[in-house]
Chain A
Amino acid sequence: MKNDFRARNHPAWWAFLLHRLSGLALSLFLPFHFWALGQAFQGEARLDKLLVWTEQPLVKFAELGVILLLAAHLTGGLRLLALEFLPWRGWQKTLLAWAAGAALAAGLAFALAL
């Protein structure tokens, strides 16, 4: 017999899924990030052209997604470190809430600064 989604429907499992998916999505973004930075090697004009392109509203909006992914992955990772290295009992759900809250706050802070 195998488990289905009902066995996994609890906050810590959702936190795991979010951490895993945000990690995968960031790993897909990373090559583009390095490519963008690499444009600087091609000269100032090339990089400036790319930076102007990133000022478009849709790209800015996509950036918000990247910030949210980063914040979620970072706070999820800090939560994992706390679970692995700190003495804990019972407050792991509070930790989840802190991780989610901090990720959301980082995303909103970026959105407000747009």
Chain B
Amino acid sequence: MNMLQVSVWRGGGDGEYRSYEVPRQESQSVLDVVTYIQRNIDATLSYRFACRVGMCGACAMTVNGVARWTCRTHVAKVDQGGAIQIAPLANLPVVKDLVSDMREFFDKWARARGQFAPRATRKDAFARVASDSPGRLAADAGIECIGCGVCYASCDVVSWNPDYLGPAALNRAWTLVNDVRDGARRERLAAVAGDAGCHACHTHLSCSERCPKSIAPTASIAGLKRAVAIAAWKGEL
């Protein structure tokens, strides 16, 4: 039988790679490989997944050094001479094996004021937002983010400056800055204007390169830079 040599990170942050042999199958995803190891070789292997079809983002891991959704990555695409290496997402603490601690990632969404702050009350009429309005189009470009952490794990600035809010949180802030129903624009721009905010981005484009949803957080961050500069110019910040 054709076997795949799989190197899997085991343990916490100070763990190590351990090797496994997994039968190669047609249309096999990397998530299938991890599941095979846990069900047939070592039941103590920890990993995270939910939908298996690229909707939840829970199964994001580092495959051959690149952050990916394992459910949507065919082994055939990443196989290097019959071998693959699987590790937890970079730039996040390791809980155990392939499970990374996402707390800091989501805390940064809150720090970037990623919460919608409604302008209206339930007594007001529904807001009407034209689908072709510039704000709506700008929000649309970034709104499909499902928070998988692939961009955050791929970002060098996060590695260099652990306080950096990161591409996903800033992308979220940008979608809200363009939401005409939102009432916290000034506070949000102030939240993303600091040293760890949008201006820390070095435009490596790793986030845009790796995003499985083909979102370009770099474009959102560039938008925030412009919005912050204009607000500062007008004395609003």
Q: Which residues of A contact B (CB under 8 A)?
A: 1-8, 10, 12-13, 16, 80, 83-85, 88-89, 92
Q: Do A7 and B203 have beta carbons less than 8 Å apart?
A: no
For A6, give the chain B residue with the smallest CB separation: B65
Interface assignment of B62: CB less than 8 Å from any CB of chain A? yes
Total count of chain B residues near the partner, CB < 8 A: 34
State whether A1 and B62 are in contact (beta carbons under 8 Å apart), knowing that A7-B90, A84-B222 are contacts in the complex.
yes
For B153, give the chain A residue with the smallest CB separation: A3
Q: Do B159 and A4 have beta carbons less than 8 Å apart?
A: no
Q: Which residues of B contact A (CB under 8 A)?
A: 9, 13, 62, 64-67, 87-92, 94, 100, 141, 153-154, 156, 159, 202-206, 208-210, 216, 218-219, 222, 225-226
24 A-B pairs within 8 Å (CB atoms) are namely: A1-B9, A1-B13, A1-B88, A1-B94, A2-B159, A3-B62, A3-B90, A3-B91, A3-B156, A6-B66, A7-B62, A7-B65, A7-B66, A7-B154, A7-B206, A10-B206, A10-B209, A12-B206, A16-B202, A83-B203, A83-B218, A83-B222, A84-B222, A89-B141
Which are the 10 A-B pairs with shortest beta-carbon distances? A6-B65, A12-B205, A1-B90, A3-B90, A10-B209, A84-B222, A16-B204, A13-B204, A7-B65, A4-B65
Shortest CB-to-CB span from A2 to chain B, Å, is: 6
Q: How many angstroms from the CA of A3 to the CA of B206 in the assembled complex?
A: 12
For A5, give the chain B residue with the smallest CB separation: B65
In the complex, what residues of B have CB within 8 A of residue A6's CB?
Answer: 64-66
Shortest CB-to-CB span from B91 to chain A, Å, is: 7
Q: Do A89 and B216 have beta carbons less than 8 Å apart?
A: yes
Shortest CB-to-CB span from A109 to chain B, Å, is: 28
In the complex, what residues of A have CB within 8 A of residue B205's CB?
Answer: 10, 12-13, 16, 92
In the complex, what residues of B have CB within 8 A of residue A89's CB?
Answer: 141, 216, 219
